Amino acid sequence: MHELKIGEYTILPGQTKKINLPVAKLYTDADVHLPVYIIRGKKPGPTIFVSAAVHGDELNGIEIIRRLINLKGFKISSGTLIAVPMVNVYGVVNQSRYMPDRRDLNRSFPGSSKGSLAARVANIFLKEIVSHCDYGIDLHTGAIHRSNLPQIRAQLKDEETITLAKAFGVPVILNSEIIDGSLRDAAVASDTKVLLYEAGEALRFDEFSIRAGIQGIINVLRHLKMIPKGRVSKKKVNHFIANNSGWVRATSSGVVTHHYGLGDQVVKGDVLAEIGSPYGEVLGEVLANKSGVIIGKQNIPLVQEGEAMYHIAYFKEDDEQIVEHIGNIEADLINGKENSEELL
């Protein structure tokens, strides 16, 4: 195996190292660093990055990485894991989705060493982290006041990416075209296969989403033969692929009464919510425009007309079977042993 060089740091096979990669200075003259944790196995194997907080208010991924690298007995036997718990350090500090220049970091790739602050961070991350990697898992949540059901989003026309998505082990896999300027866009250009994990809500921890994320990363590492097989679960995870999805929007402005939640099956024409005035009058109903499963939902009980409220995935399979399977997996992860070592 060759030595790995990130910034001014060299990491040899068999080493574990925590480094701080210089990004820029604040106007207070304080240095800002990208925290990076590298675990290298002694045997040759693939290199994979796991990143979180590309959007600075999406905190579940930070906790997923924190718990993962502290699992008792967690060790990379082959290849290299590069974990970056906070890509947008500025956003985390400010509890904001964006960079200080109000740019979306996930629309700023591949970036530039002489561009905006967002472009410079994107350039450093791509050059120092992604360029070394064969694979990547980018951890996200819903936006502020919106929750996502644990799901993998990926470009499913690529066979190896489909295989990785299934290995991750969450029931819902959503075909997602690559957006210009995104981390996935830049990674694919450098021939790095990337899964995007969406789960939970911005600025909140969600235990189901966190545990499903940890288990999913472990599943991928096992699939790539980077860690020992461990215990083999007797419970099979069925994968349901949605090639399409869509948002249902508010028909009026007002106060919301929700009738459906994340993971619920809906049939075309179902009344998902009622929108009322401050005086209790019903101003409008929000109807399902197609049958499917709710994989994203607005949480704040106030809406403006036209605002996105429910994200529905459309499957070819039986929706009732999907909902039951999602419920079983949530119960297994939440109601199991409190010690997350069980995930190994």
Output the pLDDT for position 336: 67
- Residues 310-319 pLDDT 10s: 999 999 877 7
In a domain, 336, yes or no: no
Domain identity same for 23 and 169:
yes
Task: Say how many residues make up the chain.
Answer: 344
64 & 168 share domain:
yes
Summarised one tens digit per residue, pLDDT across range 159-171 is: 999 999 999 999 9
- Give a yes or no: residue 102 inside a domain: yes
Element at 205 (helix H, strand E): none
Residue 67 counted as domain residue = yes
Q: Is residue 240 part of a domain?
A: no
3-class SS of residue 215:
helix
Residue with tokens 């450098």: 190
In this prediction, residue 339 has a pLDDT band, given cuts at 50, 70 and 90, of: very low
- Does the N-terminal peptide bond of residue 22 adopt cis geometry, omega within 30 degrees of 0? no
* Largest Cα span, the chain: 69
* Whether 71 and 128 share a structural domain: yes
pLDDT in tens, 201-257: 999 999 999 999 999 999 999 999 999 987 655 567 788 999 899 999 999 999 999
Residues 37 and 158 in one domain: yes
Cβ-in-10-Å burial (0-12, 13-18, 19+) of 165 comes to: buried
Q: Are residues 174 and 309 in the same domain?
A: no
Q: Give the residue numbers spanning the domain of 269.
A: 246-316
User: CA dihedral defined by 210, 246, 239, 49, rounded to 10 degrees?
Assistant: -50
Percent of the chain with pLDDT over 90: 82
Indicate if the pLDDT at residue 342 is higher than 60. no
Residues 219 and 253 in one domain: no
Tell me whether residue 335 is in a domain: no
Q: Are residues 44 and 11 in the same domain?
A: yes
Number of domains in the chain: 2
In this structure, what CATH number is given to the domain that contains residue 273? Answer: 2.40.50.100
Spatial distance between the Cα atoms of 104 and 148, rounded to a whole number of angstroms: 19
C-alpha distances (whole Å) from 133 to each of 10, 61, 105, 220 are 16, 19, 20, 14
Claim to verify: residue 8 and residue 138 sit in the same structural domain: yes
In a domain, 237, yes or no: no
Closest CA to 233 of 343, 75, 339, 76: 343
Report yes or no: 50 and 60 within 8 Å, Cβ to Cβ.
Answer: no
**Final residue in a domain of this structure, among 188, 204, 230:** 230
